[in-house]
Amino acid sequence: MGGADRILRILVAILFSVLFITGVVEGTLGYILLAVGAVFLLTSFVSFCPLYTIFGINTCKVKN
């Protein structure tokens, strides 16, 4: 996972958390967004996304 992808995932996770905490998104959708945000945060910290492996996506630039 590339650096830009990691930063984007962290920002989206923060956005989902803020939307839930401020009450903009509530109920089931709010909890789903919190769960997705947690997954984004976890995958950005470990620099690995299982879905990228399944679909053959690579956002990390390889140094020659």
User: Which residue carries 């630039």 as its tokens?
Assistant: 61
The pLDDT tens digits for 9-64 are 999 999 999 999 999 999 999 999 999 999 999 999 988 888 777 878 777 777 65
Contact (CB, 8 A) for 34 and 16: yes
Calculate the CA 45 to chain-centre distance: 10
Calculate the CA 64 to chain-centre distance: 28
Contact (CB, 8 A) for 40 and 13: yes
pTM for the predicted model, two decimal places = 0.80
Rounded distance, CA 9 to CA 7, Å? 5
